[in-house]
Amino acid sequence: MALFGKSKKPGDTTSQLPQILPEHVGIIMDGNGRWAKKRGLPRKAGHREGAKTFRTITRYCSDIGIRYLTVYAFSTENWKRPEDEVGSLMRLFKSYLEEALSDFKDDDIVVRFIGDKSGFSPELQALMTENEESSADRDGMVLNIAMNYGSRDEMLRAVRGICAEVQQGNLSPEQIDEKVFSAHLYTAGQPDPDLIIRPSGEYRISNFMLWQAAYTEFVIMNKLWPDFTTDDMDEALQIYSQRNRRYGGV
């Protein structure tokens, strides 16, 4: 099984895409469990289908020129789910991380994991590090996979890091500004997301990139993540292209 499924051929959607694409897209991959329930299947079946969609959409975003893609794969709150579901997710993560090392080698995509890696098994942590190191020299799209990620936790970590620098005398309180704070987040050095897409029809942000999304455009789509297609991605990009982004101005 390849890490990424086949995307549309380059000429298939060029005329449908807006001339100006968002530089950074975030996706809250939601609806795997409900997709499975509707079909009388165990939740892990939904997660497997959602992983296939992740592969297809990620490669498609790379093909059409998105520079940064951040996908919400596993939140700090997801540990509260039933033990068998969490165990199934961990096995799924392990399988895809192992496959990525060979399947991903010909893709010009930089893989990064954002979140608290220490919550995962040493084996998973090692696979994450290996995937990051093996793709570090590429110059294509940056793929941020948010695992054991929560934006509140991210911001608390940033505050603690800044406090430590102040205590060490490397930073004064007067120097702390938005730029300094952003530099202590997992997404340091990356632009804030221009667009966040949430499939499944839920109208909430779910602790995802709270700081970074201050002026992000949101598109809510009434389709469960396993059913999300490249055509849906095109539709979200078209909706984004019609927004007037004023950033608090007139």
Query: Active-site residue among 32, 63, 78, 177?
Result: 78
127 Cβ contact partners less than 8 Å away, ≥ 6 residues apart: 94, 97, 98, 101
DSSP 8-state secondary structure symbol assigned to residue 163? H
Instruction: Specify the long-range contacts of residues 188-192, CB closer than 8 Å, at least 24 apart.
Output: 190/24, 190/68, 190/142, 190/144, 191/23, 191/24, 191/67, 191/68, 192/24, 192/216
33 Cβ contact partners less than 8 Å away, ≥ 6 residues apart: 43, 46, 47
Query: Active-site residue among 12, 30, 139, 231?
Result: 30
Check if 78 is active-site: yes
Q: Is 114 exposed, middle or buried (0-12, 13-18, 19+ CB in 10 A)?
A: buried
Catalytic residue annotation: 30, 78
